[in-house]
Amino acid sequence: MSTKSVAESVTTSGKQTVDLAQQTVRDLNQALHDQNKELTIAEWEVLNPKGEHNLAVGLDQKLKVDIYGPVGYYCAGMNKEADITVHGHAGQGIAENMMSGSVRVKGNASSAAGATAHGGFLVIEGDAGSRCGISMKGIDIVVKGNVGHMSCFMGQAGSLVVCGDAGDALGDSLYEVHIYVKGSVKSLGADCIEKEMRQEHLDELSALLEKAGVDEDPKAFKRYGSARQLYNFKVDNASAY
């Protein structure tokens, strides 16, 4: 149970502080959701998250939220407009189904980072686990480290930038996501191929790296995308079904 109301935790600078050693996840999320109706406090800091799940989910306002410590599953899920920074590692599904705004993880992220997200910007300063960007639908993701297997599986739209290496089955069954990888790729998934890096792609990649605050040479990356062979059913493959 809460021992201190969120309203009592405003600092002299006007920043709202929520200490999860004293307050509940529900207290935090309700206070953040109250800002959807009328923006009264734009900056928030969350202390002692200790791996709690579902922190700062469903935000729909131009908030700046800093979470100091590791978070559990589905942090910043369904985000709209808010800018959320995790000063630590993140569990499964960080920024899942995000619509807009930004999420930055100043550590590693577990599996399914940015899953199904329709928009927004996700930066992972460490490594990302398996299925990073699975079924992504418009989000841009920049990973400064490596990504695990099946990343960008069934990716539909957006961009995935990997400054390290990629695991098995990268881009399996993807549609129109642009994938950029600087390091090695263990294997490509079904219908994913290496593609020509034209000037338009160098420009796009350069803009994404700059936005993420990553100092890398776009020319050091390779581009991967869909061979577009799985878009339509082919009768010759009927026996495979």
d(CA 63, CA 134): 26
Res 155: pLDDT: 97
Res 240: pLDDT: 65
How many C-beta neighbours within 10 Å does residue 196 have?
8
Q: How far is CA 14 from CA 7, 36, 42, 136, in A?
A: 11, 18, 9, 36
Amino acid 119 reads G
Q: Give the confidence band of 234 by pLDDT, cuts at 50, 70, 90.
A: confident
Q: Give the confidence band of 236 by pLDDT, cuts at 50, 70, 90.
A: confident
Average pLDDT, the chain: 94
Res 1: pLDDT: 42
Could you report the per-residue pLDDT of 57-84, keeping only the tens digit for each?
Answer: 999 999 999 999 999 999 999 999 999 9
Could you report the per-residue pLDDT of 190-230, keeping only the tens digit for each?
Answer: 999 999 999 999 999 999 999 999 999 999 999 999 999 88
Could you report the per-residue pLDDT of 160-198, keeping only the tens digit for each?
Answer: 999 999 999 999 999 999 999 999 999 999 999 999 999
Cβ(127)–Cβ(143) below 8 Å: yes
